[in-house]
Amino acid sequence: MKHAPFLIVETGQPVPSMRRYGGFPHWIRVAAGLEADETVVANVERGDPLPRREGFAGVIVSGSAAMVTDRADWSERSAGWLRDAAHEGVSLLGICYGHQLLAHALGGEVADNPAGRESGTVHIDLHPHAGEDPLFSGMPLKFAAHATHVQTVLRAPEGATVLARSEQDNCHAFRWRDRAWGVQFHPEFATHHMRGYVLARQEHLRQEGRCPATIARDVTAAPQARKLLRRFVRHARGLHSR
């Protein structure tokens, strides 16, 4: 049986040194266990139009070096599309920038993180009620994940449930109603992606009093975080087939 495809909303490109591994849609597709013909990519940063929402099992929104607070035209158009999709009950998963964009679209607040840049393998702490969440149930209450971001969701949208935090970020994951999720961490990152990002951001990290060599050395595998994409795919397919 042929599955309905997933739409990947591409909101940016990896840092130049990591583009030899492909773009974010490729990283997401591989981590999610999706075949090439099971995804449709819309590069909204480049100006691609977003398609009609009907016919997709779910939507995954990528990360980006852009800032949601810049309110770029392509970003605001995408936010409007995501807002409508969320209200229509489309299964959504926003990653990093996508997490922030979804929060913004639904009325949350996005801004620079007062705790500064978060970079490297971080420890995610799930709130106890995450045990009842379709994506996070059964996961350890503390697990490793890869993160690289300056902005954050300062206030989750009204009606959202905050599911996870880290030492530097109080909203690392949220669910809005029962079919839309945002995660600040990167479930699609493998260790080589994370180390590459630390290297690419090393001057910024030094300027902020951080040691890039130490952060890179502390990068470890994050298998629990990586499983989240496959969990989303399975859950969204189950909802779509009803």
Does 26 qualify as catalytic in the annotation? no
Total Cβ atoms within 10 A of residue 228: 25
Does 96 qualify as catalytic in the annotation? yes
Tokens of 82: 């995501």
* Amino acid (1-letter code) at residue 206: R
Does 38 qualify as catalytic in the annotation? no
> Of 99, 188, 193, 235, which residue is the catalytic one?
188
Distance, in Å, from the CA atom of 162 to the CA atom of 102, rounded to the nearest integer, reads: 13
* Amino acid (1-letter code) at residue 157: P
Strands (E), the chain: 6-10, 39-43, 58-61, 92-95, 109-112, 118-126, 142-149, 151-155, 160-165, 173-176, 180-183
> Of 96, 99, 146, 172, which residue is the catalytic one?
96
User: How far out from the chain centre does Cα 75 lie?
Assistant: 15
Cβ pair 162, 154 in contact under 8 A: no
Tokens of 21: 């591994």
**Residue given tokens 């996508």 in the structure block:** 98
> Of 104, 186, 193, 235, which residue is the catalytic one?
186
Tokens of 102: 């979804």
Tell me the catalytic residues.
96, 186, 188
